[in-house]
Amino acid sequence: MESQTVPTGEAARILGVDARTVYYYARDYADFPEPGRFGSALVWDVQQLKDWRAKHPIKPKRND
């Protein structure tokens, strides 16, 4: 079965963050999925993103 890839904006939606945060995750987490390329755009494997998110749940925001 062929994996499904999505651009960064859709990856952000899947992860529940904004697109900039996807780049931060890629830089800061050694186990974050490696992106592929489609032309000049980065693309991300959907299942790898979901698996990573399951291991790294979103931390709730503090109410100050």
Is the residue at 60 inside a domain? no
Query: What pLDDT is recorded for position 59?
Result: 79
Is the residue at 63 inside a domain? no
Is the residue at 21 inside a domain? yes
Would you give the DSSP letter of residue 16? T
Is the residue at 45 inside a domain? yes
Average pLDDT of the residues of the chain: 93
Residue 35 confidence (pLDDT) above 70: yes
**Better-scored residue on pLDDT, 17 or 3:** 17
Is the residue at 62 inside a domain? no
Look up the domain containing 18 and give its range: 5-55
Residue 41 confidence (pLDDT) above 80: yes
Structure tokens given for 28 = 């800061």
Query: What pLDDT is recorded for position 1?
Result: 60
Collapsing DSSP states into helix, strand and coil, what is residue 47? helix
Q: Write down the pTM of the prediction.
A: 0.86
Is the residue at 61 inside a domain? no
Number of domains in the chain: 1
How many residues are present in the chain?
64
